[in-house]
Amino acid sequence: MKGVWAVFYREVMFLKPRFLKVMLSSIIYPALFLLAFGYGLGKNARVGNLDYVVFLIPGLITMSSMNQAYGISLEVHISRYYFKIFEEYLLAPINRWEIVVGELLYGIFKGLIPAFFITLYALISGIGIRLNLVFAICLLLHLICFSLIGYVIAMLVKSHADQAAFSSFVMVPMIFLSDTFYPIEKMPALAKYIGYLFPLTYSTKLIRGALLGIDSMVTFRNFALLFTITFALFVIAIWVTQRAEVV
Amino acid sequence: MTEIEVRSLRKRFGNIEALKGVDFEVKSGEIFAFLGPNGAGKTTTINILTGLILKYEGEIFYRGEPFSPHNLKFKKLIGVVPQHNNVDRDLSVEANLKVHGYLHGIFGRRLKEAIDRVLEFTGLTNHKKRKADHLSGGMKRRLVIARALMHNPGILFLDEPTVGLDPAVRRSMWDLIRSVNSLKGCTVFLTTHYIEEAEILADTVVIIDSGRVVACGKPDELKRRVGRYALEIYYQDRIEEEFFETREEALERLKSLDVPAKIREVNLEDVFLKITGRRIEV
């Protein structure tokens, strides 16, 4: 486990001088969505029995925490291709899975920052959310999933351009098609089918269900799908790291 | 004792055969230099020996045991100073060393002692709290060496350790490498394209060119194979070298020339020139 701690320590030390910036950016982005969609367009709107703002809050938690967890992609890529710090990990007497888990913990840590602040806002502003173990487990699984996507992409792509292309073609559509801002069931057929391919759809449903007490969303099927995707990503992450060479 | 034994090492990158069957041995406690021009295969060899390249052909033995890139035992044995200063620029000198310590399972008091020891050894004690990015090029190089020494490796790999450093810093780096070898009893494997560096530091030199070992031996032995004195003849369009066993022979030839010429002692570049017909171009 020494490798896990070393990688996590390095990443946290790297984050330390940037923490305020990361914190502010992870608050501003969802705050703008909340203002524009929640208190602007959706002021008097309802989704089923819920006020739109109440519907939106869990979506903002998943969307913004996903962005932060996935954001490790850029950092891992830079440390591997430009600063070559990743070589230190490859040279060290640690198992390669320890690198994956260390980066994963960092992704979870980063993802918790916006999740904490949005949840805090929801509690202070009286939006009726319930904090419980199911929410904690689902949020953790969600953060693991997107940290792994970020890590795998960082290991597979060869340039920033490829990384940007992945963000444009996968991450941005995922934000809008995965039940975050609008119920996926009300989307046009094609968008709905695409949305169901994204893990964010299942994590948003699970987290919304857990926070708002909607049992029909916290289903075994949603959890199993998210868990399976996450497990597959973990296997891929280990596989690519085992084969990683100097670049 | 043989520290590293390499047999028929081959590596291909697409259509390019970077190593074409390299053989050599590194003896325990020596400074071993891999000398050759850029693109000769020096870094590829180091990357294979340190497990940074996983796919290759050939056999490698560390202290008689077959090497496997994923076997952690070998990684504990080696320290690596890569060609680029891959320090974490945003971290302090101390934090850089801490990360390396943690990676090698050094914690608590042992970690603190190891950090103080390597900082003192490399002359960076007063810079412990400085951000690595604020160090000069030479200091960053020292930090990379300090980092590689944190876990007391038995073999230290240095890939072009003085490239890009000014002459004064280069000399101080040579002193440091000698100290690593003599005071710490560490076997040193270094690659270089600087003739002087190999001559001054190395007990054994392997000259590599286009992925093949072209000569191997002690620097003096290698030079003897060429001669003792070189006569550099400056023709209008080229410089040619001729080699002689005695200064008198060289002088006699000099007198017979009607173009400028200079007598000097043979160096390792002459060995390279004699074998390959080319100079070591950097």
pLDDT digits (tens, 9 = 90+) for A46-58: 888 888 999 999 9
**Among B89, B197, B75, which residue's Cα sits nearest to residue B143?**
B89
Return the residue matching tokens 């940290």: A147
Three-class secondary structure of residue A133 per DSSP: helix
Of A10, A83, A93, the CB nearest to B99: A10
Helix (H) / strand (E) element for B146: namely helix B137-149
Taking contacts as CB-CB distances below 8 angstroms, the residues of chain A near B70 are 96, 242
Eight-class DSSP state of A113: H
Q: Which of residues 74-93 of A touch B (CB under 8 A)?
A: 83-85, 87-93
CA–CA dist B179, B184 (Å, integer): 7
Which of B54, B82, B102 is closest, CB to CB, to A5? B102
* Average pLDDT score over residue span A129-144: 96
Cβ within 8 Å of B, A 113-152: none
State what percent of residues in chain A have pLDDT above 90: 79
- Per the rule left: phi > 0, alpha: psi between -120 and 50, beta: everything else, B126 is alpha
Distance CA A93, CA A99 (A): 11
CA angle, corner A9, sides to A232 and A72, nearest 5? 45
Which residues contact residue A77 at a Cβ distance below 8 angstroms, ignoring those fewer than 6 apart? A154, A157, A160, A163
**In this structure, what DSSP letter does residue A241 have?**
H
Is a pLDDT exceeding 90 seen at residue B1? no
Residue-level pLDDT at B7: 96
Using one digit for the tens of pLDDT, what is the confidence trace for A185-237? 999 999 999 999 999 999 999 999 999 999 888 999 999 999 999 999 999 99
Angle at B124 between CA B122 and CA B125, to 5 degrees: 115
CA distance B137 to chain A (A): 15
- Contacts of B239-247 with C-beta under 8 Å, sequence gap 24+, read B241/B270, B241/B273, B243/B270, B243/B274
CA distance B107 to chain A (A): 9
Residue with tokens 């084969």: A243
- Residue A88 and residue B100: Cβ atoms within 8 Å? yes
Q: What is the pLDDT of residues A157-173, one digit of tens each?
A: 988 899 999 999 999 99
Enumerate the residues of chain A whose CB falls inside 8 A of the CB of residue B105.
2, 93
Q: Count structural domains, chain A.
A: 1
Q: What is the mean pLDDT of residues B5-9?
A: 96
A60 token code pair: 């903002």
A91 → closest Cβ in B50, B95, B98:
B50
Using CA atoms, how far apart are residues A129 and A149, in angstroms rounded to an integer? 28
The pair of structure tokens assigned to B77 is 């044995």
Q: Whole-angstrom Cα distance, residue A169 to residue B63?
A: 51
Q: How many Å apart are CA B140 and CA A150, to the nearest integer?
A: 30
pLDDT tens figures, B54-103: 999 999 999 999 999 999 999 999 999 999 999 999 999 999 999 999 99
Q: What is the CATH number of domain B2-218?
A: 3.40.50.300
pTM reported for the whole predicted model: 0.90
In this prediction, residues B95-113 reach a mean pLDDT of 96
Query: Going by C-beta distance under 8 Å and a sequence separation of 6 or more, which residues neighbour residue B14?
Result: none
B86 vs A83, A242, A243: nearest CB: A83
- Smallest Cβ–Cβ distance between B103 and the set A17, A92, A242 belongs to A92
Contact B282/A at CB under 8 A: no
Task: Give ipTM to 2 decimals.
Answer: 0.88
The verdict on a CB contact (< 8 Å) between A17 and B73 is no
Between A88-97, A103-112, B219-228, the lowest mean confidence (pLDDT) is in: B219-228
Contacts of B49 (CB under 8 A, 6+ apart): B4, B6, B60, B67, B78, B157, B189
Token look-up 């990384």 returns A163
Asked if B80 lies within 8 A of A91 by C-beta distance, the reply is yes
In sequence order, the β-bridge partners of residue B230 are B243, B264
Tell me if chain A has a CB within 8 Å of the CB of B214. no
A207: which 2 tokens? 């987290």
Chain A positions in Cβ-Cβ contact with residue B107 (cut-off 8 Å): 2
* Phi, psi (rounded to 5 degrees) for A54: -65, -40
Of the candidates A100, A53, A107, A48, the one whose C-alpha atom is nearest the C-alpha of residue A75 is A107
Residue of A1, A5, A10, A106 best to disrupt the B interface, most CBs of B under 10 A? A10
Q: Do A92 and B104 count as a contact with CB atoms less than 8 A apart?
A: yes
**Alpha carbon distances (Å) from B200 to B125, B161, B177, B208, B270:** 28, 14, 11, 18, 16
What would the pLDDT profile of B20-46 be if each residue is shown by its tens digit? 999 999 999 999 999 998 889 999 999
Chain B contact present for A186, CB below 8 A: no
- Range(s) of the domain holding residue A215: 2-243
Ordered by start, the domain boundaries in chain B are: 2-218, 227-265
- Is B251 an 8 Å CB contact of chain A? no
The answer to whether residue B89 neighbours chain A at the CB level (below 8 Å) is yes
Q: How far apart are CA A113 and CA A19, in angstroms?
A: 10
Interchain proximity B104–A243, CB inside 8 Å? no
* A 8-37 residues with CB < 8 A to B: 9-10, 13-14, 17
- From the list A169, A167, A172, the residue with the least C-alpha distance to A154 is A167
What's the rounded mean pLDDT across residues A136-144?
98
Chain B residues whose CB is inside 8 A of the A6 CB are 99, 102-103
Mean pLDDT over each residue of chain A, to the nearest integer: 93
A192 in reach of chain B (CB within 8 A)? no
Supply A97's token pair: 């899975």
Q: Out of A17, A93, A245, whose CB is closest to B104?
A: A93
Q: How far apart are CA B123 and CA B113, in angstroms?
A: 15
Alpha-carbon gap: A7 to the closest alpha carbon of chain B (Å): 8
Per-residue pLDDT, B281: 64
When CB atoms are compared, the residue of B80, B86, B98 closest to A85 is B86
pLDDT at B136 over 70: yes
- Tokens 């929801």 belong to A122
Distances (CA, A) of B27 to A104, B150, B187: 42, 23, 8
The DSSP output letter for B125 is G
Helix, strand and coil content of chain A, in percent to the nearest 5, comes to 80, 0, 20
Helix (H), strand (E) at residue A26: helix A19-33
